[in-house]
Each structure stands twice: as structure tokens, then as C-alpha cells.
Amino acid sequence: MLNVKRRSQAILCSFVVCLSVLPGTQTLAEGVPDDCTQLILAIGPTWNSMRGELRLFERPRGGDWKVVAGQFPVLFGKNGLAWGTGILGQNEPGLRKKERDGRAPAGIFAIGQIFGYEAHLPAGADYPYHQVTDADIWSDDPRSPNYNRHIVIDPKNPPDNYSHEKMRSGDFAYHWLIEIRHNSDPPVPGAGSAIFFHTRRGVNRPTTGCTTMARDNLVKVITWLRANRHPCYALLPAGEYENKWRAWNLPSPDTLRSDVSLAR
């Protein structure tokens, strides 16, 4: 009888373990990582929205989120949003982000490095930074072995056969770039590349997949970020946010109705 009881317990434990790792299954362990204590949160009205609102949140480790800046307007992909690949989102049913689909990746993502034209970050900033030159490119060609990677080339002898984006093109919109780590670990060819926060080109100019904002607001984000707080980015349409905020350890919708001024 004792052996039967032990076998039953073992079967039950195996069932629970299997359930916890099924793709798309919500468990208590899922959500924004515990060590993420800075959160950039953007919400669009629908999956097809090219506009949304962005807020910055902070929390003590294990504590509740508190809004510290926002809301301010942002632009997404010209065709809206699609599920991306990051900390969360890749196992969700629905439209998937693809290369050149004109959609911004939805889900939760780590924040990578900051890139820019200047020798140093703006005053008050303290975050990993790389000053770009003519040698810095980002591969956006799924055929390339460096797809969705920052690489340094010889600008006088650029690689043949593969397309890429110059990171120092003289475009004011790319003066500062904050890497959003979509499809990064490792990159899947064709699942989307070169996803950043950067300066918008106009109030009515959506992107091909990045999240853009006014330059002053972008600089506020740059000076706020701290690597030791493991910042994350969450982007969701409003309906998905209502469904997932609790399971994904995101701020309560009530906090979105208690905005503060950008002045800090």
C-alpha cells in the first residue's frame, strides 16, 4: 500500500512539472524577472495601432511597481504590433513578428546596450554605451550569419551579398539608440531584427518595428536607465494587458490612471 501511495505521488509531481513547462502555460514563476526593478511600459489600443503611450516604473526588489515618469506618446510599427521573442511573448498564440512586416514586437524584453553618435552619454546617464562610427552596422539580412547582431566592419571593404543598417548614417533619428532585445538569444533568421528605441521622425511617422518618441523623452529614458536594476520593456495592446498584467507581474491597471509629470 505504501508503494502504491509513493507511485501516485510521483505521478502527480511529474504531471505538475510537465504542466509548468508547456508552451503558453501560465505559472507562478512566469512574469517580469524578480531582478528587473526598472520597467518601460508601452500600451497600444489594439494590435493594429501605430500609436501608444509609454510610462516608466520602478520597484524595490519583490515590491510593487510605482510610476515615476509618463505618460508620453510613442509610435510603433506602421502595421501595428505582433508577438515577439524575448523574456515573454514567444509562446503566445497569434500573429508573430517577422522581418520587414512593419510591426513592433509585443511581449517583455530585456534592454541591451545604448548606441550613439556622441563620445559620451547625456549628463546624468550611467549605462553600457558604444559610440558608433562608420564601421558599426546592424545586420538585418536573415541569410547572414550575423543576423540581428551589431558588428564592426571595414567600411572601405564592406561585406558582400548581405544587407545591413548603418548605425552612423547621419540620420538624426538614430542619434541615440536603445537596444530592445527581441529575437536575440539566439536570433532566429527572419523573426525580426534591429529593434530599438529612437527619436521619432515626426508625430505622424510610424516605424518599421521600433518604438520612437520625442528626443527629449528619449533622453529622459537614457538618463534614467541603470544596468544594475536589470531594466525591461513591456509592450502590449490594451486588451492583452488587461488579461496578462497579474500573471506577468506587471503594474496594476490602477497605476496607469495615476500618472505623474515628466518633470522629476
pLDDT-derived band at 258 (thresholds 50, 70, 90) equals: low
Mean per-residue pLDDT for 118-138? 97
pLDDT tens-digit readout, 148-186: 999 999 988 887 778 899 999 889 999 999 999 999 999
Question: Is 8 contained in some domain?
Answer: no
Q: For residue 213, is it within any domain? A: yes
Q: Is 22 a member of any domain?
A: no
Name the domain count of the chain: 1
d(CA 84, CA 47): 13
19 in a structural domain: no
Above 60 in pLDDT, residue 36? Answer: yes
Q: Residue 89: which of 210, 255, 237 has the closest Cα?
A: 237
Q: Indicate whether 221 belongs to any domain.
A: yes
User: What residues make up the domain containing 126?
Assistant: 35-257
pLDDT one-digit tens code per residue, 62-74: 899 999 998 999 9
Per the domain annotation, does 163 fall within a domain? yes
Question: Would residue 30 count as lying in a domain?
Answer: no
User: What is the value of pTM for the model shown?
Assistant: 0.86
Return the higher-pLDDT residue of 24 and 84.
Answer: 84
Per-residue H/E/C for the chain: CHHHHHHHHHHHHHHHHHHHCCCCCCCCCCCCCCCCCEEEEEEECCCCCCEEEEEEEECCCCCCCEEEEEEEEEECECCEEEECCCCECCCCCCCECCCCCCCEEEEEEEEEEEEECCCCCCCCCECCEEECCCCEEEECCCCCCCCCCEEECCCCCCCCCCCEEECCCCCHHHCEEEEECCCCCCCCCCCCCCCEEEECCCCCCCECCCEEECHHHHHHHHHHCEHHHCCEEEEEEHHHHHHHCCCCCCCCHHHHHCCCCCCC
Q: Is the model more confident about 231 or about 159?
A: 231
Task: Examine the pLDDT at 9 and tell me if it is beyond 80.
Answer: no
Residue 20: pLDDT over 50: no
80 in any annotated domain: yes
Q: What is the reported pLDDT for 79?
A: 98
Is the pLDDT confidence value at 19 over 90? Answer: no
